Copies of this chain bind each other. A is one copy, B any other.
Amino acid sequence: MATLKDIGVELGLSPATVSRALNGFPEVNVKTRDKVREVADRLGYRPNRVAQRLVTGRSGMVGMIIKIRADMSADQTFFEMLTGLTAALGAHDVDLVLAVDQDDDPVLPYRKLMERDILDGFILNAPVPDDPRVAYLREKGIPFVMHGQTGPDVPYACYGIDNAAVSQDAVQLLSSLGHKRIALVNGQLRYAYAVDRLGGFQAAMAAEGLPVPAAFAASDAETEMQGYTIGLAMLSGRDGVPPTAIVCASTLIAAGVIRAVKDRGLRVPQDISVMAHDDALPLMDPVGLEPALTVTRAPLRDACVPLAALMVAHIKGAPAEQQVERAALIVRASTGPAPKGGESPWP
């Protein structure tokens, strides 16, 4: 394997100049730079990463812990992130080391991996309110970037979407269509994103002057089947007059809710409008649903590039930066005007 010295010998240059030339330093002559590049190409030069890491003091590796579920599986979102992150980090010559979290103590796997002395930092996901991992990593001064936020105005590096705005956009859209009874089928409240969505939902409803019956803000839904079950329950009228519009935490849940609406003999969107937040996961296509699903959309995969950039910058000493994007609102066929009094199956 060719080294900087080999290239230098070939051209009568010192390794220092060769290094500078290849790294695009401004003080190297354009002609020498081109010659160096050419010889490097010809010799198939590839920098020795380990040597680079020794001198820069950085290992070029970041860690990520997979929190596996009780059924020993991880969800689609994890692989989506993993795929995107390995690519995005690779572009910065950074590699991803994974470990599995199977313990009760959420901090332990981070400590264990850090003790191996090979990591520059961590990428965290699925933040929970008052995340203990944040406390630990901040205390130890270990760089990390969070996908999402544990709450508003956090003091650490993170990238995510404004989940309160997700609910707000949904409520405003539906309210503008004349809906007054709007329900939220939320994700698990132990996650910060679901807390934010709920908060945004309640705030937006209040801002629109609409009340929120408790049964209209259901939580803990994750699967199509759960969406179906919760949908049926909401439509049963057991807990009061059913909603005319339902906002779902994911397209998967929305699929279940739509199934429930249809099974009840009702139509989407004529009787009930349904919408959801869409992470753009490969297998859950909101357009493939019948009818095509109105969504707030923020592809999970898109988060990987900025996350990797934030991570790399942070490792190099840049101050922690918070980036909060707003999800796009895409109106399709599953939302429509609220049924008029006379048309509605309910008073």
Using a CB–CB cutoff of 8 Å, the interface residues on chain A facing chain B are: 46, 48-51, 53-54, 59-61, 66, 68, 70-76, 79-80, 82-83, 86, 90, 93, 95-100, 102, 116-118, 281-283
Contacts and interface: CB of A to CB of B under 8 A. Distances in A.
A90 B116 contact: yes
A98 B83 contact: no
Contacts of A86: 98-100
Nearest to A56: B50
A61 to B, nearest CB: 8
B79 A76 contact: no
A231 B100 CA distance: 35
A167 to B, nearest CB: 26
A96 B98 contact: yes
Nearest to A118: B49
Nearest to A60: B118
A71 B247 CA distance: 25
Copies of this chain held together in the complex? 2
A325 B86 CA distance: 35
B117 A72 contact: no
26 contacts: A46-B117, A49-B59, A49-B116, A49-B117, A49-B118, A50-B118, A54-B54, A66-B82, A71-B283, A72-B281, A72-B282, A72-B283, A73-B73, A73-B74, A73-B76, A73-B79, A82-B98, A83-B102, A86-B98, A86-B99, A86-B100, A93-B116, A95-B97, A95-B118, A96-B97, A97-B98
Contacts of A102: 83
Given A73-B79, A90-B116, 8 more contacts: A49-B59, A49-B116, A50-B53, A50-B59, A54-B54, A83-B100, A86-B100, A95-B97
A68 B59 CA distance: 28
A93 B83 CA distance: 25
Nearest to A76: B72
Nearest to A109: B86
Query: Which 5 interchain pairs have the tightest Cβ spacing?
Result: A72-B76, A83-B100, A50-B53, A50-B54, A98-B98
Contacts of A71: 76, 283
B48 A117 contact: yes
A72 B80 contact: yes
